[in-house]
Amino acid sequence: MYINLSKKNIDEEEDLDEDDDEEEMMTDSNKESLDINAAWRSRRALPKEYFIEIMVVADAKMIELHGVGLVSYILGLMNTVSRIFKDPSIGNPISLSITKIVKIEEVFGTRQNGTDGIAAAEMLKKFCYWQKHNNPDEPSPEHHDVALLLTREDLCHNIGQRRCDTLGLAELGRMCSPGSSCAIAQDNGLAAAFTIAHEIGHVFNMPHDDDNRCVKFRNRSPVHKVMSRMLDDKTHPWEWSKCSRHYLTEFLESGKANCLLDEPRDMIRSDSGRLPGEDYSENEQCELVFGLGSKICPHIEIDVCKRLWCTAPSSSHQPQCHTQHMPWADGTPCAFGMWCQRGKCVSKRNLIPIDGQWGEWGRYGPCSRSCGGGIKAKRRECNNPPPQNSGNYCIGEHNLSRDVKWHAKSIKIPQEDRCKLFCQVESNQYYMLNDTVIDGTPCGPDTFDICVNGHCKQAGCDHVLGSNAKLDTCGVCRGDNSTCQRITGAYNSSGVYGYRKVTKIPKGSSYIDIRQLGWGGSHNDSNYLALRLGEDGEYILNGNYMVMHKKVIVLPGSAIEYSGPGTVVERLNSSRPVGVDLILEILSVGDIVPPQITYEYTVPKRILGSYTWILSDWSSCSHMCQGNKQRRAECRNTEHKDVVSDDYCRREERPQEESQLCNTHCILQWQLTPKSECSKHCGPGTQMVSSRCFQVILNSPNQSPRLLKDYACTHLERPSDIRPCVGPCDDVRWSYSDWGTCSVTCGGGVQIRTAKCIDSNGVEVAERTCNASEKILKRFCGSEACPQWTFGECAMLIAVKVTNIGKFVAKVHVKEDDVRDYRVNILQCTKSCGGGIKERRVDCVIRWFNGDKEERVGDEECTRFGFNKPRTHRPCQRIPCDFTWKEGSWSECSADCGDGIQRRAVTCHHINRYGWIDPSPAEGTRVARSNCPAEFKPQRKRKCNQRRCGPLTCLEAQRRLKSTKDGEYTLLIGGKNMSIYCHDMGTSEPREYLTLPAGDRENYAEIYDKRLNDPNTCPFGGQRNDSCDCFDNRGTVSGRTMFKRVRIDVAKLIIMANDYTFSWTKGAKRVEYGKAGDCYSRQDCPQGRFSINLTGTALKLAREVTWKPEKSRAHLAINRITDQRILGKCGGYCGFCSPAGDMKLEKLNEHIKDNNKIKL
């Protein structure tokens, strides 16, 4: 056998990219201007997780080669790419989701003369232009962040030199740039996944590992990583270098990738749980690289899993072997019970994803500067445990910095130390940097006194030693308070979440006093004052949803004191003129209540010329009918037209407010409706009435009044519920009820009714006012003759055998000899021995008094006159039997569907002289069946559950029903037909899910997000109370995941707890079904919860399913209400609990019913 390396080998230093470093950083399309209309997404607060929403496009040659298997092939490639971006070496939480897969016949580029290739740069440019114009804006579920073109075309680096060995091309650092966030990759088999990951790395601004920018990150390891410039037998393309991690982290932290911060709602899942090597054999992998007919080289065993050696498609008896230095696909069988993983042949095992968790923080390092300000930093790693098997990387910060921001500080410094240079770090600790400051330094921001030789000397606002010059209320040194005006205002608009503008405090304002009274006297009403510099400037107080403690805000020429949020009255105050415009805002979070803000400050009169009175637009009409609308005077800024406090405008120039009538076409009125009659039949009384609001259209007599809600008439006085009335004093008469039923139906009886005395209005009055002689309450009824019983004689016998219950039932056929003579059949005894039944028929007849006629009527005609019906059955054949049949209980049905059978034992037994049935003999011998009458033998078996069996899997349902629609299907699970939700029915690998009728409120898994400040306690008796003395622990650990459906393995009948397709999560971490935990307390005080509720399904949790703590510090409590309803609590410091093994399911037991029909 001859071994010949392919053209793309290590000696040729095959490039993964078409471009060198310079071309990578700037190509023609890289010069595009930023699209100001692009749908950029806002940056969200930490912790951050990034989601790459990618559109994958396949060109004509891809469609021609892969045919109907194209989508499955692309999903296999992207599955590998997703796992590469989940490798912990990347150092950041990144997930990949496919928004859509597009098949297109278009060729992006022109084939050059003398070669079949296309210039890679031209193809990338045209594809980037195409994808930009085929990308819907947010929030469309088909919006993508980056686009990928897969092609089988030859990509040429230099057309002139006919170099067409390029595998991919992308622009550097263009993620989230709408016109250039794209890449192209040549399909050369399953190893194209490494090219795709490499090119997306470039879009994330990662250079090649041998780039000069990576010099400081290099080590002596010969192993090449994902961003290696070439692929050879030393390349390990599943891991990222330290250089790649650094530049990716830098790019993410710069905010340039903020379009990746929103979690996709709808996506095409690529993480099917299967590895590419499970779907493509070694020979199929060879054919994907070298063409149809290529096979794995049979005698090269040293590179198993590491390099794919294949025969050429046209190989003869001595095949030549080729390789592109690419490994076998993960999941490819390489020996008995083993498979390939990352280029090695290892034991086969289930690769369950394990999410990473943060380790402990390290110590703070040294200060970054010896003076003038610096930082100290500490670091932690995602290694407790590290992510494994494509598990999620930790979310949150690697580094924690402590600023050492130095500035001269005199607040809280003793008087005698005010001229020493004390500096304060943000931890509120003070350090004396020098025992004196430079002469002339102000003693503090709240005084004009200055330091001389280390002592504070009196000085005035004119900065002259010994001067006592003061600022007036306008901030003018030695002023007379005439150059300014006091502005006051209040704000208490109904709260909404987030920031709202209260007012603008212009530059030059002084004596600022802003107060926010806590709602209901509370010091924590979730409303906080906030300040920012100018309309679009940065926050200097309580910005970015972070609330500061008590502090002094230093501004040019002034300082503002902040009381902090922990007081009933939150306050900002300053006396000196501020040197910048300030915007006062209110931040509302948590339980939203209206803020109670008052503010006042002094402004220079010179700025008041920028404000004038303007009449507002007409207000809406005050009432639906006969209302008025107004135009009120508003003080506005003449430049920006902002409405400001009335104090900015001159009161004497305020215009007269205008008003006018509106909605004059109608009137509103209360209309009364009686609820009772007048309280007096005769003369003055009172009456209960109800009032309702009506709209009456004027000058429209044909239009009926329209009923309105009562609030429309609240401005009108509502009438009383009682009004006076006068009784009419009319005539009276008896009013009767209906006649009752007759006391008998024949033979003579009476009917009775009731009466009351009423007036002409129908109002009941005293009976003495009516004529008693006219009161008639009884009358006779039921005078017809009554029927009686007669008996017939025996006629004939008919016996019918009923086979379903194994007994004889007698039935009678009546023969009428003449109209007067009714015959009844007396049947033979139903048994020949042991006691049977004889039956006769008894009819009720009416015999007329003249004796000429009798009529048969229903039995009720006799029984209601007291005639007892003679018996129709009597015992017979009381002589004892020698033998009789005895039947056992029916067995369970042999099948839940299809052709099920039930069986029972039927045995013949001897009857002893006492009339009892002898049991079966102890020695096992039986009484011969021939001793018992064969015609009375009960049936031994019968059919059951005669319904059609469903398919076993969703894939079988797809093929049998020819359906591609997701939904509920009847599958045969564990031998029982039940409803299962089939997902991805439009793909070659549909999956089975169990819909949870109890809903996601009853099916959740939670890792609690609070941690006690004192973890050695267990407050509230262990009960959960979110007002605990806690701090939020909302990093990568906590979250609450609610499930609407859970994925099941229909073959093993287990729940796959880590599938989140039909779930939603509140918090940073998705939690597996049936798992719980917290970092709340070291005591036995668990707060994390899970709930499993399978009620309404045909399955239950097996009794063998139990829970175990994942860490020794965990405490758990499991409440197994039923096998379908399990509640759990778990926690520790930190402590987590999860099922001990698989979550095995069993089908519910059913009461077996006999649905067979009785056969005559």
Annotated binding site for Zn(2+): 198, 202, 208
906-910 vs 843-847, strand pairing mode: unpaired
Which whole-number Å values give the CA distances from 763 to 29, 685, 727, 733, 944, in the listed order?
Answer: 95, 14, 10, 10, 69
Q: Is the peptide bond before 635 cis (omega within 30 degrees of 0)?
A: no
Q: Which residues contact 206 (CB under 8 A, 6 or more apart)?
A: 227, 243, 244, 247, 248
Mapped onto helix, strand or coil, the DSSP state of residue 1077 is strand
- Among candidate residues 14, 18, 153, 199, the one labeled active-site is 199
- Please count the other Cβ atoms lying within 10 Å of the Cβ belonging to residue 990: 21
Q: Give the span between the Cα atoms of 708 and 692, in whole angstroms.
A: 8
Q: Give the span between the Cα atoms of 1077 and 497, in whole angstroms.
A: 30
Contact 48, 144 (CB under 8 A): no
Q: Give the span between the Cα atoms of 302 and 304, in whole angstroms.
A: 6
Contact 124, 182 (CB under 8 A): yes
Q: Write out the DSSP string of 379-447.
A: E--S-SSPPBTTPPPP-S-SEEEEEE---B--TT--GGGTTSEEEE-TTS-EEEEESS--TT-BS-TT-
Residues for the chain: how many in total? Answer: 1160
Question: Per-residue b/e over 1094-1120, b at no fewer than 16 CB within 10 Å?
Answer: beebbbbbeeebebebbeeebbbbeeb
Two tokens, residue 426 = 């943000």
Contact 1057, 967 (CB under 8 A): no
Contact 171, 139 (CB under 8 A): no
Helical segments of 436-511, H only? none
Residue 958 dihedral angles phi and psi, to the nearest 5°: -60, -45
Annotated binding site for Ca(2+): 53, 145, 259, 262
Residue type, 119: A
Residue from 667, 1154, 779 nearest 939 by CA: 1154
Q: Give the span between the Cα atoms of 342 and 327, in whole angstroms.
A: 8
Contact 505, 540 (CB under 8 A): no
Contact 1133, 1113 (CB under 8 A): yes
Two tokens, residue 579 = 């040197």
Catalytic residue flag (residue 570): no
196 sits in which H/E element: helix 192-203
Annotated binding site: 53, 145, 198, 202, 208, 259, 262
Q: Which residues contact 758 (CB under 8 A, 6 or more apart)?
A: 732, 733, 734, 735, 764, 765
Residue from 523, 496, 666, 721 nearest 590 by CA: 496
The CA-based angle 677-679-684, given to 5 degrees, is: 115
| Sheet of strand 597-604, all strands in order from the earlier edge strand to the far edge | 484-491, 597-604, 510-517, 569-574, 558-562, 551-555
Q: Give the span between the Cα atoms of 364 and 378, in whole angstroms.
A: 4
Helical segments of 215-294, H only? 242-253, 276-279, 282-290
Mapped onto helix, strand or coil, the DSSP state of residue 669 is strand
Q: Is the peptide bond before 787 cis (omega within 30 degrees of 0)?
A: no
Q: Give the span between the Cα atoms of 724 and 497, in whole angstroms.
A: 54
837 sits in which H/E element: strand 836-839
| Sheet of strand 843-847, all strands in order from the earlier edge strand to the far edge | 788-790, 843-847, 854-857
State the catalytic residues: 199
